[in-house]
Copies of this chain bind each other. A is one copy, B any other.
């Protein structure tokens, strides 16, 4: 194991190297809605972000299991980080010849951390999604009215997702400030995302219970003001 100072220096070099590389993502830049958050993290020597998505609506053409008909760009019929109108989707669907699926994919962020020795990647994601099959073998299976209804929901989720990013940013900022003043490690308060302690009637040590799905239960709860509504997952180093 490396001496702490060596470890810190090595992390710093690694971070500099990674952040200096070209952004190889489809878009080639960080999403507008997470720029501040990414900057907040990258300004701290103990973190750097490896990938992120602010949340997006995507329309994909694939087979019935969600596997793409072809892996080239043609399977992406539409990608947008902004609210979306019916006509955009109707137009994009005309290009579908397989089974098109509309998804809302919420905010996700991967952060490399210096201080978590055994869990160096932090994934931050919201579970507020949608996954809706729309066409089968190129044939539209829903009405235009349904697409409008669905986009209303997707756009509302995008709006809610934006609020969650803001709340997460604020939580993180406070945690970083506390860390600076008290030298205690950064900890984001997460109320509803504990994998098995989210039901009040259960004690944290509760043994095996079937069908306790944190994500689902969270959907049923109203958001509390101090809960960013975003899940934080730690990945082990070699994951």
Contacts and interface: CB of A to CB of B under 8 A. Distances in A.
Interface of A: 14, 17-21, 23-31, 38, 42, 48-53, 56, 58, 60, 62, 64-68, 71, 75, 79, 103, 105, 108, 110, 116-119, 121, 123, 128-133, 136, 141-143, 145-146, 149-150, 152-153, 156-157, 160, 190, 193-196, 201-202, 205-213, 215-216, 219-222, 232-236, 239
Nearest to A20: B207
Most-contacted residue by chain B among A79, A110, A116, A136 (CB, 10 A): A110
A110 B232 CA distance: 16
Given A26-B211, A136-B149, A141-B146, 7 more contacts: A18-B206, A21-B207, A25-B210, A116-B118, A142-B142, A194-B239, A234-B239
25 contacts: A17-B207, A23-B209, A24-B206, A25-B212, A27-B210, A28-B210, A31-B211, A65-B157, A65-B160, A66-B128, A68-B220, A71-B220, A118-B119, A123-B195, A130-B132, A130-B133, A131-B131, A132-B133, A141-B149, A142-B142, A194-B239, A195-B235, A195-B239, A233-B234, A234-B235
Nearest to A202: B24
A144 B17 CA distance: 55
Contacts of A67: 219-222
Nearest to A216: B105
Total copies of this chain within the assembly: 2
Nearest to A50: B196
A201 B21 CA distance: 13
Given A67-B222, A118-B119, A121-B196, A210 B29 contact: yes
B205 A17 contact: yes
A117 B116 CA distance: 12
B133 A142 contact: no
A128 to B, nearest CB: 7
A21 B65 contact: no
Most-contacted residue by chain B among A25, A62, A146, A213 (CB, 10 A): A213
A203 to B, nearest CB: 9
Contacts of A119: 118-119, 234, 236
B118 A210 contact: no
Contacts of A143: 141-143
